[in-house]
Amino acid sequence: MSMYLMNDRFVKNDEVSISIEDRGYYFGDGVYEVIRVYGGIMFTAEEHIGRMYESAEKIRMTLPYGPEEMLSKLTRLIEENGIREGHVYIQATRGSAPRVHQFPGEDTIPVITAYTKSYPDVPAAPEPAKLKSVDDVRWLRCDIKSLNLLANVMAKQEAYEADCFEALLHRDGTVTEGSSSNMFGVKDGVIYTHPVSNFILNGITRRVIMQCCEELGQQVKEEPMSLEDVYSMDEFFMSSTTNGILPVSEIDGRTIGEGTPGPVTQRLMAAFEAKLPEPAPTR
């Protein structure tokens, strides 16, 4: 039976108990992170946890223990559940209190929960993705990785119903990101992606990609792309914690380039893979 992190305790799933008055349930009042596990080791764990504490600070929520203790607890959780390939999900809500919109008193303690998910030992090579453009109707603080994901859910569902893997979000024709990913276009050997701002979440995988580009001498322009720009790209790819770098073959029924991973995308995929951790020894 899998173990879960519940505040500062490790418990079995039938011991997890969340109050009906938890503000995450009422308001989505909380933040979260997903950290990929390769070979039993969390990838970019410090960056993910650092962003989680930044998100918590932005919503004026003080977590009950610090980043180092959080990482230690997640490492133990992965070991307890024997996760080799998979991810760990961690979230924190403002806590349990009577339902009023304003913050509860200082005696309300945030609730932290975490669990793991295992992936197949040898995942199949991903097929290039198809995208569907969807209006970006989210709030204006997309830089906070909050639990308020209804607009993302609706966008993903619209893409799913169009037989597409992901929604390509845009504000009045200006592409921002995906419902759970960052977006990159390639034109004449140059990578284009939306600049870091309140309109996007600065993905951890996105940050690794930018580091790879710097090391490879790959030119990147952090400039907004229009939908018309996107349709004429030579290559296109998306990034996320769970998928890494995923090539895109089609957007709104239009084939991008040759419909296969282009040379810039392939080069970045190889550079990204080289950064993955060596598997931890098995017990």
Q: Which residues are catalytic?
A: 145
CA-based nearest residue to 51, from 37, 38, 70? 70
DSSP-based three-state secondary structure for 158? helix
Contact 165, 131 (CB under 8 A): yes
Beginning with the edge strand found earlier in the chain, give each strand of the sheet holding 3-6 in spatial order: 9-12, 3-6, 111-118, 86-93, 30-38, 41-42
d(CA 205, CA 237): 12
CB burial string 153-168: b at 16+ within 10 A, e below = eebbebbeeeebbbbb
d(CA 159, CA 29): 27
Residue type, position 234, single letter: D
